[in-house]
Structure formats: C-alpha cells, structure tokens
Amino acid sequence: MAFTQATSRPDWRTRLGKIDRVLLAIIAIFIVLVVFAPAQVPITAGAAIGSLLSTAPFLVLSIGIAAYVGASGADNLIAQVFQGRTTMMVFTAALFGALSPFCSCGVIPIIAALLTMGVPLAPVMAFWLASPIMDPSMFVMTSAVLGVDFAIAKTIAAIGVGLLGGFGIMWLGRFSLYADPLREGVGDGGCGASSVRQPKPIAWAFWRDGDRVVRFRKAALKNGWFLGKWLLLAFVLESLMLTYVPAEWISQSLGGEGVVPIALATLVGVPAYLNGYAALPLMGGLLQQGMAPGAALTFMVAGGVTSIPAAIAVWALAKKQVFFAYVAFALGGSFMAGLVFEALMAG
C-alpha cells in the first residue's frame, strides 16, 4: 500500500505539465525582467495591459463570432462545399477556407474526413491551405491592429494560396504519388469531422435551444481564454521588441524594397511564428520600425500555414509527398502574395 501511494503522487514534471505554457512564458519573461531589468517591468506590464484593453471590443466581437458559428452549427456548411466538378470545387474550397473559422490544427479532423470520404485532394488542399490564414475573427482582429487594407490583403492572399495549392495538386494529380494522400492507419477524422460525415440543420437562432446556449457559453469562455492569453503574451513581446530590437536592424533586414525582405520573411515565418492572433501586434511593432508591408504579409501568411504545430499536424496526417507539396505551395503562395502586396503599396 505504501508503495502504491508513493508512486501515485505526481512529480514536479507532471504538475508543471498541467500549467498553461503561455502563462508560464509570460511569468518567465517577467521573472527575467525582475532580475536583469527591473525598471522595464512596469513599462512592459503597462504597455501590454493597455494594448489588451484597447483591442478588447474587437476581441469580444471575434469571440462572439467564433462561438456563434459553433453553437448554431454553421460549420456544417462545409459538407455542401465539396460537391460538383473538381475545378469548381477548388474555387469554392479556397473561398470557403478563407472564410471558415478553422485554425491550422483544428482543420485536421475535417481534412481527414474529407479524404477518407473520397473527396479529391485538389479541393481539399485548397481548403487546407486557405483555412488557417484567415477567418471572420481573424479579419476583425487584423482590421483592428493593422488596418482594414491589410485584412483585405490577407483574405485575398488566403484565397490565392488556396487556389495555387488546389490547381497545383490538379496538375500533380497525373502522378500516382498523390493518388492515396493519407498515411496508413489514419482514421476518418474523429469527432471533429462529424459535421462533414453527418451534417445537421443549422439553428441560426441557437438561443432557443438550451444545449446550444451551453455550447455557445463554453465556446466563448474557451476562445476568450485562448485569445486573451495569446494576445497578452504578444503585447508583452511587442513591448520588449520595441524596447530592445534596434529599428535599424529591422529596416536593414526586413525593410526596404525588393525581393530579399519578402523572401527572408517567408523563411523566417516558419520557425518564428507564434499564433495568428499573437502575430498581429508583433507585426504592428515591426511595421512601425520599418518592416516592408509585403514582408509583413508574407510572414503572417507563411507562418500561419507552415508554423511548427501546423506542420506537425500535416506530417502526422498525410504522406510525405503531400506534406512537401503543402509546404511548397504555402511558401510559394506566401512569397507571391508579399510581392503583389508590396507592389500595390508602392504604387
């Protein structure tokens, strides 16, 4: 009995694993500041809290949109997107992906379900690429932080990258390597794909159903916690970046005109990307320090699709050739989006 009690106690690693990693990062940052730069603590804390409060109205709106989509069952519309000719499906999937409320990891169960249902890889790839770049909540937050023009450009970029991947896969479809895209042992998408397999009627007035009201409340709390903590971390990092990162370095490496800053932002966006919402204030700070607008757009588009969590999810789901095609289309499309946006801004 004594042995059982001794071994059943969770060790410090288990306890630490239960603590939110984003909160741990924020706490760790302030511990380092207290030790090495105590004068910076109130400056960073005040700037982060002030920025969070200034975006609070848009944050509440984005949380409400996401919760409404889940509670009403509007995500069931996805089942109607992948019907008809492949060419038309690619266009529809890219457009719907840019407007759907799915993140790079949350879309994985949907993708698995679509592929196991026999939906062609081309429209699935279009949806897969476009979905994590933009959604209604992201559009609202991007407009608040970076401006409406940037939000519109990011939406168009999401559709463009989706179209590039979809029609690119149609061209590559002549090779047998892409005939069976899923890894062996991958199921039918799990519970997250139920809306695709068995679409249910949409209840636009969800508040008339008690279960949907509960779902709305849970989704709002979950999304509020998720967005709030990520934005707080982002604003903390933004404050530190504006304090310690020389504006000359940003201007020389990612600022200015030409292809190099955009190409560099394409590659840097993969390992440096934190989160779609967290990247917004960071990009705002970099733009203030001279970052090229095209490079900023490229960073956000490339990072959203090819960030490490998203890449791991794609790697676990699809075969190697599909994974490499996904990355290639994401980086190529992001680079082209940055070039076009930079040319338009310069003009």
For residues 246-279, one letter each, b for 16 or more C-beta atoms within 10 angstroms of the residue's C-beta and e for the rest, the string is eeeebbebbbeeeeebbbbbbebbbeebbbbbbb
Q: What is the pLDDT along the chain (347 residues), one digit of tens a residue?
A: 444 444 455 565 555 556 678 889 899 999 999 999 999 999 999 998 998 888 788 778 777 877 887 788 776 665 566 667 888 989 988 998 888 776 665 566 677 767 766 778 899 899 889 988 888 888 988 999 899 999 999 999 999 999 999 999 998 877 777 777 877 765 544 444 555 555 567 888 889 999 999 989 998 898 788 778 877 887 888 788 778 877 667 656 666 677 888 888 887 776 555 566 767 887 888 888 878 899 989 988 887 777 665 676 677 778 888 889 998 999 999 999 999 998 888 76
**How confident is the model at residue 3, as a pLDDT?**
44
**How confident is the model at residue 40, as a pLDDT?**
95
**How confident is the model at residue 341, as a pLDDT?**
93
Q: What burial class does residue 346 get, using C-beta atoms within 10 Å of its C-beta: 0-12 exposed, 13-18 middle, 19+ buried?
A: exposed
Q: Residue 135 carries which side chain, given as an amino acid letter?
A: D
**How confident is the model at residue 106, as a pLDDT?**
59
**How confident is the model at residue 222, as a pLDDT?**
83
**How confident is the model at residue 307, as a pLDDT?**
65
Q: Long-range contact list for 229-232, CB < 8 A, 24+ apart?
A: 229/20, 229/22, 229/23, 229/26, 230/22, 230/274, 230/275, 230/277, 230/278, 231/52, 231/55, 231/59, 231/277, 231/278, 231/281, 232/26, 232/48, 232/52
- What angle, rounded to 10 degrees, do the helices at 320-346 and 259-272 form? 140
Q: How many CB atoms lie within 10 A of CB 240?
A: 20
**How confident is the model at residue 119, as a pLDDT?**
78
Q: What is the pTM of this model?
A: 0.70
